[in-house]
Amino acid sequence: MPEHRFESRNSDKTYIRILDAAARLYREKGYTAVSMRTIAKAAHIKAGSIYYHFESKDDIVSIILNLGIKVVHDEVNQIVTNLPDDATASEIVRAGIRGHLHALLEYRNYTSANVRIYGQVPAAIQKSNLLARRKYEKFWDNLLSDLQESGELRAQIDIASFRLLLIGALNATLEWFDQEKGDCSVLADNYADLLLNGILTDQEAGT
């Protein structure tokens, strides 16, 4: 799926084909349920041949998990960085939510594989994904802290708590959102409105 990284390199098309097939299968079936034989069949290759491209099953999983974070981080970073200097807090947060949801659903096999199987892979593999996760969390924390210091976000909210709530809610859309039936930017604006303004009518707010 992440074609941009390998575009024209000679016969690494096979490398990508294996990775794409594996990501989709991991998302659908879970970590242990997917065998090298299963991946091989989906990638139109024989099981033994996979070991020419990858060191082991865990090597494949580790690469998939890291791409699952990277594609989202890259897209959110690019969208937010390209906003005009006078963008409001609403616009910035909204853009971040749009970017996160768009990448999440665009690279669904990788992102969903990450969300679903991270908690179930061996500890060593989890560890290989931790740095990418921490960096993305830090990105949001910095973004939100800046907006809070400038007075656009309420002073009393805890940034880490909101970031956990936000990313938790966004990632959960992977479990139900159907790209065929809806536009994810509509969903993004919907979620952004709820999170920015809350659900109470004005006379009830603050209670």
Partner DNA sequence: GTCTATATGGGGATAGAC
Partner DNA sequence: GTCTATCCCCATATAGAC
How far is Cα 162 from Cα 76, in angstroms, rounded to an integer? 17
- Residue 36 beta carbon to its own copies: minimum distance, rounded to whole angstroms: 14
- Here the tokens at position 120 are 């179930």
Please tell me whether residue 61 binds DNA under the rule CB under 7 A: no
What amino acid occupies position 171? N
Position 130: which residue type? L
**63 lies in the site for DNA, by CB under 7 A:** no
127-141 per-residue burial string, b: 16 or more CB within 10 A, e: under 16: ebbeebbeebbebbe
Which tokens sit at 136?
A: 């993305």
Q: Say which DSSP state 11 is in.
A: T
CB of 116 to DNA, least distance (A): 17
Smallest separation, CB 196 to its own copies (Å)? 5
- Residue from 2, 30, 38, 42 touching DNA (CB under 7 A): that is 38
Residue with tokens 């910095």: 142
Interface with DNA includes 197 (CB under 7 A)?
Answer: no
Please tell me whether residue 48 binds DNA under the rule CB under 7 A: yes
Q: 36, 92, 97, 174: which one contacts DNA (CB under 7 A)?
A: 36
Binding site for DNA (CB under 7 A): 10-11, 14, 34-38, 45-49, 51-53, 56-58
